[in-house]
Amino acid sequence: MSKEPFIFFGIVILLLTVVLLIQYFYFKRQQKLFFTSIQDKNYNIIRDVETDIEIYSKLKYKFVHRMADIVFLKDEIFIIIHKQCIKSGKILQISKSSDFHSGVSRKLICHSKLKVSEQLEIKGQFVDFILTQNFKITLHLKNKGFDIASVLN
């Protein structure tokens, strides 16, 4: 029996592992930068929130259901999306302001925030390359002990 297929699969598994480790440490570093940038500010963090993210435009539609940590800072909301079983991932900034915080992967412009049966529903848009896309994010805050009315404007 030839050893070449085993060597090939071993190299593929090793490369995948290295890529996942690089991604993990990159997102951990981004989170550290983010929390360093807001450390002197008054913020609330809610851990392990079910999050539905819908992104749609005339050309495509995408729906993602993930767990995330949510950071509320004045008029800004930050969503730290968990990657599969790992609690480090992209940080989305949802805001009407022009401020951009360190470590944030993508900034989304908020148009509206609504309370819908113990859920916070956020709608807005962002530019992805040259394509303007709309989004709707639903944060399931039931049983999290958070007053949704405090972030509505």
Beta bridge partners of 86: 83
- Residue 52 and residue 138 in contact, taking contact as beta carbons nearer than 8 Å: yes
- The whole-number pLDDT of residue 148 equals 83
Q: Which of 9-13, 34-38, 72-76, 148-152 has the lowest mean pLDDT?
A: 148-152
Q: Distances in Å between the alpha carbon of 9 and those of 19, 20, 51?
A: 15, 16, 36
Q: Which domains does the chain have, with CATH numbers?
A: 36-151 (2.30.29)
Nearby residues of 118 by Cβ (< 8 Å), 6 or more positions away: 140, 141, 142, 148
pLDDT in tens, 109-128: 888 899 888 899 999 988 77
Report the chain's mean pLDDT, rounded to a whole number. 85
pLDDT for position 84? 61
- pLDDT reported for residue 32: 92
User: pTM of the entire structure?
Assistant: 0.83
Q: What pLDDT, on the 0 to 100 scale, is given for residue 137? A: 92
Provide mean pLDDT across the span 36-42: 89
pLDDT(56) > 90 = no
Average pLDDT over residues 11-18: 94
**What pLDDT band is residue 78 in, cutting at 50, 70 and 90?**
very high
Query: How many Å apart are CA 27 and CA 145, to the nearest integer?
Result: 28
